[in-house]
């Protein structure tokens, strides 16, 4: 089953995008995407470029990766580390919010 994501700005539901659609959406060349895949930054579904499908999160990761590279000169291994740290930060934030909401619920009892 395809994962769905809602683009908050346009309200469109994004299930998955092709390599060409990802490139157009992010303003990058397909060679850049292949480099990100080789580095483990992106993980498409499918066995070859003609059948690759990328989740909505791939759009975000590609845009962040490109900005890190273009604006700060970060190389691909550095991009991978930065994105992993951002993912960890997001996960910890979610866990903290769940914990705080759980504590708030206990205070009401």
Per residue in 56-66, pLDDT (tens digit) is 899 999 999 99
Phi-psi region of 11 (alpha: psi -120 to 50; beta: other; left: phi over 0): left
**pLDDT tens per residue, the chain (109 residues)?**
344 444 444 445 567 899 999 999 999 999 999 999 999 999 999 988 999 999 989 999 999 999 999 999 999 999 999 999 999 999 999 999 999 988 776 666 5
pLDDT, tens digit, 9 for 90 and up, residues 71-85: 999 999 999 999 999
Distance from C-alpha of 99 to C-alpha of 19, rounded to nearest angstrom: 38
- Which residue has 């959406």 as its token pair? 25
| Domain boundaries, position 79 | 5-108
Q: How many domains does the chain have?
A: 1
pLDDT at 20: 96
CATH number of the domain that residue 73 is part of = 1.10.1660.10
């Amino acid at each position: 089953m395809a994962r769905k994501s809602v683009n908050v700005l346009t309200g469109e539901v994004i299930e998955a995008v092709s390599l060409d659609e990802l490139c157009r959406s992010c303003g990058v060349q397909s060679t850049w995407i292949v480099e990100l895949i080789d580095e483990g930054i992106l993980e498409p579904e499918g066995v070859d470029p003609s059948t690759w499908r990328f989740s909505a999160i791939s759009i975000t990761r590609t845009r962040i990766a490109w900005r890190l590279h273009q604006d700060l000169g970060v190389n691909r291994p550095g991009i991978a580390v930065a994105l992993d740290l951002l993912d960890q930060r997001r996960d910890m934030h979610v866990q903290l919010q769940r914990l705080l909401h759980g504590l708030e619920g206990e205070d009401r009892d």
